[in-house]
């Protein structure tokens, strides 16, 4: 067993950290308060190569492995979770489906401008009536005269309404299936498609600078070739996409938890009560020591899941566990961080208030904690 | 144009440093990084290459592990690396370090040799001058702006109260200061591509150097004692009312010639 990062992994971690500290962290509070999408930061991330980090070089990405990707997401989240999810959703939900399931024409057509970060792409699975039960998709697409006609609504779709968004891949029922379940397929919907409208941004508690919209499809027409990969494979495809996405959320949660730890240690050293820094009180030390231990645990699980994926081994259970655990301990870390800051922790002048609002989504997005447990239990043959 | 940039592997600048009994830096337990000052020299080299075409080679003398730290420079945009590494070189002083670097640079046919202002560990700032002397080339130190026109070099040298403009013929050795540029981040594509860039390793034999002239044996200086820097004295807290305190601060600044 070897816990050492490779030279490339270490350099990517270092670069992402320096970038996050210099270019992201100083602006995080302002973008959060204004709930404003950080276009300039995204363009700098594109320039650095973050928006296509694990995409192969032949499609214009950097060709890094999943561990490097997780390290980068972690470092970004340590500075700003909104920026981290913007990158992670673009990569693992937006771009990966093309790479994993696209035909060679689709790969060539869509991936290069996404890997360079020039454009963004979204993935629309969730619907008003199909959240955890994602298979209950009500969006329908029918094929006639070489054209798909799409009708339905998608909820909470990340990166779907920015000026950079080139389109969204959506799951839709494309017909009845032989075994009684509906046939589900994924369709590629370019942003400019007529009949496709992007509703106003949601008013969110956390990840406020990230872009999230409800999407409506009313007789939206796309050519037949906009079917992603094979017809009827939509259900399998999104399960696979979500497996990878869980590593993103695990890494993002580890980064946020680390930010909570950093802020807590700093404040515990600075704040004096009863004539001593509060960090000299055992009651505070124990909180911080437990926080650090849980983060180490979550980080190891996350890197392990990424490592399994890089080795081409089955990583689904490890990714589900990493996501479940990391998002939980991140919520605990944020809770303790605010507690350690006392009344100042409630004030937006300190970053822990933002961490506390940002961290909860980790337990909800890309499969709730309850769903992670169901997935894990299923893999234990229950 | 062929450009060489001299870079040094130094202990992580944030780490606590300790000396061994013979007053050498105990590097065993320390993470290493590319000397931060050398990133400015490298950035300048890459910019000059972008403007005038050619290639940028990084040259370093250090332990075998220095190859790892060179990778950052390759990821930033250097084309290749040259690593001078040999156990006979351990303990080399500035004279010997300059001798070895000069031997590697002499045969390279470089038009421009760039160095950083100082290393973040030993920080003598003497090596670039010694190197120019060994190579018999013009030496331009503390350079904050560099322009190349044909075979001529025009630079701005930083002085305490301003700058001077001087020129020299290429080839030349130039030591740059931080004000010269803002080093780029290594791009992530660059990091991945750096694996494919070549680092040539040279040992003493390959450079035609005699072991007896190297390392501690060949060094002309000896470190006879080392003392930690005395702790900084605590600052003075002014508790006077603001109008008086302001006057005290102004007097203090005038006394120390910060203001006239
Ligand atoms: C900021 C943000 C960004 C998002 N981005 C995207 C995106 O880009 N693309 C996308 O497709 N989706 C996105 N989502 C949607 C997200 O994936 C869903 O919100 C999530 O899957 C939960 O679905 P739901 O909100 O409908 O909750 P529901 O499924 O209604 O769940 C409500 C509660 O019931 C629990 N529950 C449900 N079923 C069970 C069960 N069988 N057993 C036990 N408990 C159960 C849940 O765990 C939860 O606690 C995003 C969400 C947010 C908040
Ligand atoms: C505590 C201590 C103990 C020492 N012990 C000894 C000893 O026992 N014997 C001894 O002889 N010397 C010793 N040295 C000096 C050591 O050898 C110097 O580090 C070395 O000669 C280079 O000088 P410098 O680091 O001061 O470089 P500087 O002159 O400060 O560096 C300026 C520039 O020169 C270039 N450069 C410097 N070093 C290299 C390199 N290795 N490869 C490529 N480019 C380089 C870089 O561009 C750098 O920015 C010691 C120094 C210290 C602080």
Q: Which two tokens stand for residue A125?
A: 């699975």
* Token pair 């004279």 in the structure block, residue: B95
Chain A positions contacting chain B at CB under 8 Å are 7-8, 11-12, 14-15, 18-19, 47-50, 53, 57, 61-64, 72
Task: Kindly tell me the burial class for residue A96, based on how many C-beta atoms sit within 10 Å of its own C-beta (0-12, 13-18, 19 or more).
Answer: buried
- From the options 3.40.50.300, 1.10.3720.10, 1.10.10.60, 1.10.540.10, give the CATH code of A7-120: 1.10.540.10
What gap in Å lies between CA A175 and CA A185, rounded to an integer?
A: 9
> Could you tell me if the CB of A367 is within 6 A of ligand 1?
yes
Comparing CA positions, the residue from A212, A247, A218, A246 lying closest to residue A86 is: A212
Percent of chain B with pLDDT over 70: 99
Average pLDDT of chain B is 92
Residue A143 pLDDT > 80:
yes
Answer for the pair A92, A145: CB distance below 8 angstroms, yes or no: no
Question: Beta strands of chain A (E only): which ranges?
Answer: 120-124, 140-144, 147-158, 165-176, 182-190, 196-201, 212-223, 272-273, 276-277
Q: What is the pLDDT of residue A328?
A: 98
Answer for the pair B120, B35: CB distance below 8 angstroms, yes or no: yes
Question: Beta strands of chain B (E only): which ranges?
Answer: 2-6, 9-11, 32-34, 55-61, 80-84, 112-115, 139-149, 152-158, 163-169, 172-176, 199-202
What gap in Å lies between CA B193 and CA B187, rounded to an integer?
A: 10
Domain boundaries, chain A: 7-120, 121-231, 236-379
Task: Kindly tell me the burial class for residue B208, based on how many C-beta atoms sit within 10 Å of its own C-beta (0-12, 13-18, 19 or more).
Answer: exposed
Q: What is the CATH number of domain A236-379?
A: 1.20.140.10
Give residue ranges with CB within 6 A of ligand 2.
Answer: B 6-8, 19, 23-25, 35, 37-38, 41, 60-62, 91-94, 97, 101, 115-116, 118-119, 121-128, 219, 221, 223, 226
Asked if B65 has any chain A CB less than 8 Å from its own CB, the reply is no
What gap in Å lies between CA B141 and CA A144, rounded to an integer?
A: 74
Asked if B253 has any chain A CB less than 8 Å from its own CB, the reply is no
CA-to-CA separations, A276 to A280, A281, A288, A291, B188, in angstroms, rounded: 7, 8, 17, 22, 45
Q: Which two tokens stand for residue A322?
A: 């990493």
The alpha carbon of A195 and the centre of ligand 1 are apart by a number of angstroms equal to 26
CA-to-CA separations, A249 to A87, A296, A346, B176, in angstroms, rounded: 11, 16, 25, 44
CA-to-CA separations, B9 to A141, B100, B204, in angstroms, rounded: 60, 16, 19
Average pLDDT score over residue span A312-341: 98
What gap in Å lies between CA B230 and CA A297, rounded to an integer?
A: 41
Answer for the pair B117, B142: CB distance below 8 angstroms, yes or no: yes
What gap in Å lies between CA A352 and CA A358, rounded to an integer?
A: 10
pLDDT confidence tier of residue A140, bands split at 50, 70 and 90: very high
Instruction: Let me know if domain A121-231 sits in CATH 3.40.640.10.
Output: no
> Could you tell me if the CB of A215 is within 6 A of ligand 1?
no
What gap in Å lies between CA A355 and CA A338, rounded to an integer?
A: 9
Residue B85 pLDDT > 90:
yes
Query: Left, alpha or beta for B177 (phi > 0: left; psi -120 to 50: alpha)?
Result: beta
The alpha carbon of A367 and the centre of ligand 1 are apart by a number of angstroms equal to 6
In ligand 1, the atom with minimum distance to the C-alpha of A366 is 17
- pLDDT of A24-36, one tens digit each? 999 999 999 999 9
Average pLDDT score over residue span A200-223: 97
Q: What is the pLDDT of residue A186?
A: 98
What gap in Å lies between CA A18 and CA A26, rounded to an integer?
A: 12
What gap in Å lies between CA B133 and CA B122, rounded to an integer?
A: 20
Comparing CA positions, the residue from A71, A93, A94 lying closest to residue A19 is: A71
The alpha carbon of A337 and the centre of ligand 1 are apart by a number of angstroms equal to 26
Cα B72 to its chain centre, rounded Å, is 15
Report which secondary-structure segment, H or E, holds B38.
Answer: helix B36-52
ipTM confidence: 0.85
- Predicted structure pTM score: 0.89
Q: Collapsing DSSP states into helix, strand and coil, what is residue A35?
A: coil
Residue B170 pLDDT > 80:
yes
Cα B150 to its chain centre, rounded Å, is 26
Residue A178 pLDDT > 80:
no
- pLDDT of B185-237, one tens digit each? 999 999 999 989 999 999 999 999 988 889 888 899 888 888 888 888 888 88
Q: What is the pLDDT of residue A71?
A: 98
């Amino acid at each position: 067993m070897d816990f050492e990062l490779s030279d490339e992994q270490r350099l990517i971690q270092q670069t992402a950290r320096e970038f996050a500290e210099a270019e992201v962290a100083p602006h995080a509070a302002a973008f959060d308060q204004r709930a404003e999408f950080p276009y300039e930061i995204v363009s700098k991330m594109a320039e650095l190569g973050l928006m296509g980090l694990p995409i192969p070089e032949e499609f214009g990405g950097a060709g890094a492995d999943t561990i490097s990707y997780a390290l980068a997401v972690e470092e970004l989240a340590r500075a700003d979770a909104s920026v981290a999810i913007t990158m992670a959703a673009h990569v693992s939900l937006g771009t990966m489906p093309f790479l994993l399931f696209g035909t060679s024409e689709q790969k060539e057509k869509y991936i290069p401008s996404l890997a360079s970060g020039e454009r963004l792409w979204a993935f629309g699975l969730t619907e008003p009536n199909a959240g955890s039960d994602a298979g209950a998709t009500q969006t329908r697409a029918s094929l006639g005269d070489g054209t798909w006609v799409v009708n339905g609504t998608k909820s909470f779709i990340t990166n779907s309404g920015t000026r950079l968004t080139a389109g969204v891949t959506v799951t839709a029922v494309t017909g009845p299936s032989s075994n009684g379940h509906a046939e589900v397929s994924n369709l590629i919907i370019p942003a400019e498609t007529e009949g496709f409208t992007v509703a106003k941004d949601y008013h969110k508690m956390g990840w406020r600078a990230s872009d999230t919209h409800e999407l409506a499809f009313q007789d939206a027409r796309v050519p037949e070739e906009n079917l992603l990969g094979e017809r009827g494979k939509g259900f399998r495809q999104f399960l696979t996409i979500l497996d990878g996405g869980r590593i993103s959320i695990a890494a993002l949660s580890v980064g946020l938890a680390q930010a909570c730890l950093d802020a807590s240690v700093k404040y515990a050293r600075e704040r004096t009560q009863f004539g001593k820094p509060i960090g000299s009180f055992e009651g505070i030390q124990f909180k911080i020591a437990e926080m650090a231990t849980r983060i180490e645990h979550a980080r190891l699980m996350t890197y392990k899941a990424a490592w399994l994926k890089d080795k081409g081994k089955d990583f689904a259970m490890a990714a589900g566990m990493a996501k479940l655990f990391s998002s939980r301990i991140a919520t605990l870390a944020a809770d303790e961080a605010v507690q350690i800051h006392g009344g100042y922790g409630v004030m937006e002048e300190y970053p822990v208030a933002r961490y506390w609002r940002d961290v909860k989504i980790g337990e909800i997005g890309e499969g709730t904690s309850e769903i992670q447990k169901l997935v894990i239990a299923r893999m234990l043959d229950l | 144009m062929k450009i060489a940039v001299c870079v040094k592997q130094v202990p992580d600048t944030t780490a606590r440093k300790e000396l061994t009994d013979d007053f050498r830096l105990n590097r065993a337990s320390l993470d290493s990084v590319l000397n931060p000052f050398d990133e400015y020299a490298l950035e300048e080299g890459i910019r000059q290459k972008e403007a005038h075409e050619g290639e940028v080679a990084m040259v370093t003398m250090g332990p075998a592990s220095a190859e790892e730290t060179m990778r950052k420079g390759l990821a930033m945009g250097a084309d290749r690396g040259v690593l001078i590494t040999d156990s006979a070189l351990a303990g080399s002083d500035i004279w010997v370090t300059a001798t070895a670097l000069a031997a590697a640079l002499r045969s390279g046919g470089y038009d421009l040799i760039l160095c950083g202002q100082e290393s973040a560990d030993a920080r003598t700032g003497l090596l670039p001058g010694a190197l120019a002397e060994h190579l018999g080339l013009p030496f331009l130190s503390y350079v904050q702006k560099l322009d190349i026109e044909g075979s001529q070099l025009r630079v701005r040298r930083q002085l305490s109260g301003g700058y001077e403009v001087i020129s020299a013929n290429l080839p030349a050795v130039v030591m740059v200061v931080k004000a010269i540029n803002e080093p780029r981040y290594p791009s992530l594509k660059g990091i991945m591509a750096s694996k494919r860039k070549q680092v040539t390793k040279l040992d003493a034999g390959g450079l035609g150097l005699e072991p007896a002239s190297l390392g501690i044996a060949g060094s002309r200086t000896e470190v006879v004692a080392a003392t930690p820097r005395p702790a900084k004295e605590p600052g003075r807290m002014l508790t006077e009312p603001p109008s008086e305190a302001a006057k005290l601060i102004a007097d203090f600044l005038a006394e120390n010639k910060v203001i006239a």
